[in-house]
Amino acid sequence: MSDGRAATRRGFLAVVGGSTLAGCSGLDRLGNDGESAPTVSAYRFRDAADDESTPVVAESIPVEIEASALRARSRRVDDLLGTVPIPLDAGRLPNGVIRERLLDAADDATTAGQRARSARTRFEALRHLSRARERARYAAAGWAYVETNRTEATLRAAHRRARDDARTLRADLAYRGADPVRAALVYARAERRLAVVADSAPAVHESSPLLRVAEWGERAESARASTDDARYLLARYAASLPDDAGTVENALTAAADALADDLRERRAALPSEPSGDDRDEFGWRLRGRLRDDVESGVRRLSDPVGPARAVVDAVGGFAAAGAYERVRSRLDGDGGAYRVEDAADVREARQRALDAIRNALAESPRPALARPTLADAAMSVTYADDSLAGYRGDVRVRRLHDPLRRYAAAAARAESVPAACRRVVAAL
């Protein structure tokens, strides 16, 4: 029996559409991984083709991002990579491990740049280009240590300048707007980016002086990219507002406080979990995953990086609470809930998640407000796909538990998003 990892996602889904789970009577009754453990026969997936996962919903922002801004960031990546002579000269850099680290960073930057070019939204492209800049700077700074004796102190100073700029920009946030939902979505992105930079206290623990310089280069570029992107998005947003647009800061703050109180009450009302022999492992872990999401939502709303971020995160918090209630009700009311009797059930679980995400985006009163939570759910589906795509041979069904829980949790969260979105809109 083999649990080898090699097949792709498309091959796995082709197999689960037409094969059976040998000996499987239900995930909730699987008790061991012994010789008699039920398996799904995947084998070699002859018809599989490489198929990199793409989440069904992409992140976006209600700001018009100019193509010229993306081109400028892409040029920055190209300029940084252009300073790195690939292949690296082994005579000047004899340490093979260090050469590999720099080459890996350059490869990461190239991959992120390619993802930016194929991104479905310009905001998604902006995020990929930020990552590309970071990794390109790592490679460039590392080689600059060899070529021009670039120092760690120089890059530390560059990071401090970016951090100081982020702190100034955060202190000057105006929270203007004519529509509090749109304002929340824009300012939430800025708050998050600026907080990561302004509150950072990075420490580099590399023993190699070259790698310390490379990492400080990456950190300096990351801080600068985040700060510049936040400034750009805020400027584009401000330019789109009418001259008489007032402040929405009080509305956002009041909504954030009220939503935090409501979510804490919702968490307190959740029923306690069964223990010992009264619980089935699959359902217990699924409920636990969603209950953890509720706890995480409460923490984010109780100590937010800003009022806009709290409002946007509240959708995810209330959706997690609704998802927990949906899953618990389904498990309590149907002894066969989430049971898998043949491989087609795995595909059905995945399709249910995808359908729920698409439907929730269409049914939410403000789709843009629902999108961040749905993009997160879509990413969970992608992670599950990646996990399933890694198997070939005879795979124990128990190995499928985690991806199946991801599908189930993503579906339940998405199904709860429209109501969560309505709750947040009402608070504004």
Give residue 23's pLDDT: 38
Q: How confident is the model at residue 334 (pLDDT cuts 50, 70, 90)?
A: low
Reported pTM: 0.86
Nearest to 293 by CA among 259, 270, 261: 270
What share of the chain in percent tops pLDDT 90? 70
Q: Residue 288 pLDDT > 80, yes or no? A: yes
Query: Per-residue pLDDT averaged across 399-404, rounded?
Result: 81
Q: How confident is the model at residue 4 (pLDDT cuts 50, 70, 90)?
A: very low
Long-range contacts of 257-260 (CB under 8 A, 24+ apart): 258/427, 259/301, 259/310, 259/311, 259/314, 259/317, 259/318, 259/423, 259/424, 259/427, 260/298, 260/301, 260/302, 260/310, 260/314
Q: Residue 10 pLDDT > 60, yes or no? A: no
Q: Which two tokens stand for residue 131?
A: 């990552």
- d(CA 363, CA 342) in angstroms, rounded, equals 32
Give residue 69's pLDDT: 98
- d(CA 269, CA 255) in angstroms, rounded, equals 21
Give residue 279's pLDDT: 60
More confident site: 357 or 278: 357
Q: How confident is the model at residue 387 (pLDDT cuts 50, 70, 90)?
A: confident
Q: Which two tokens stand for residue 175?
A: 């929270």
pLDDT in tens, 18-77: 444 343 333 333 334 444 566 655 543 233 323 445 788 999 999 999 999 999 999 999
- d(CA 252, CA 143) in angstroms, rounded, equals 46
Mean pLDDT over the full length of the chain: 86
Q: Which two tokens stand for residue 43?
A: 């084998």
Query: Per-residue pLDDT averaged across 174-187, rounded?
Result: 97
Range with the poorest average pLDDT among 85-89, 195-199, 214-218: 85-89
What is the 8-class DSSP label of residue 28? Answer: G
Q: How confident is the model at residue 340 (pLDDT cuts 50, 70, 90)?
A: low
More confident site: 180 or 389: 180
Nearest to 187 by CA among 72, 34, 307, 84: 307
Q: Residue 345 pLDDT > 80, yes or no? A: no
Give residue 19's pLDDT: 41
Give residue 96's pLDDT: 95
Give residue 203's pLDDT: 86
Domain boundaries, the chain: 67-246, 248-427
Q: Which two tokens stand for residue 310?
A: 């709290």
pLDDT in tens, 139-176: 999 999 999 999 999 999 999 999 999 999 999 999 99
Distances (CA, A) of 408 to 27, 39, 289, 361, 363: 13, 20, 11, 18, 20
pLDDT in tens, 262-287: 999 999 999 887 665 556 778 888 99
Q: Which two tokens stand for residue 29?
A: 């009754």
What is the 8-class DSSP label of residue 247? Answer: E
Give residue 41's pLDDT: 53
- d(CA 130, CA 195) in angstroms, rounded, equals 16
Whose tokens are 């002859």? That residue is 46
What share of the chain in percent tops pLDDT 70? 83
CA 89-93-97 angle, 5° bins: 110
Q: How confident is the model at residue 338 (pLDDT cuts 50, 70, 90)?
A: confident
pLDDT in tens, 96-121: 999 999 999 999 999 999 999 999 99
More confident site: 16 or 403: 403
Nearest to 102 by CA among 139, 148, 134: 139
Give residue 264's pLDDT: 97
Whose tokens are 């890996």? That residue is 104
Residue 336 Cα to chain centre, angstroms: 31
Q: Residue 246 pLDDT > 70, yes or no? A: yes
40 φ/ψ angles, rounded to the nearest 5 degrees: -110, 130
Give residue 335's pLDDT: 58
41 φ/ψ angles, rounded to the nearest 5 degrees: -90, 110
Q: What's at 188, amino acid-wise?
A: A
Q: Which two tokens stand for residue 347?
A: 């595909």
Give residue 26's pLDDT: 36
Give residue 45's pLDDT: 29
Give residue 396's pLDDT: 74
Query: Per-residue pLDDT averaged across 340-353, rounded?
Result: 78
Evaluate the omega torsion of the peptide bond into residue 87 and state whether it is cis, within 30 degrees of 0.
yes
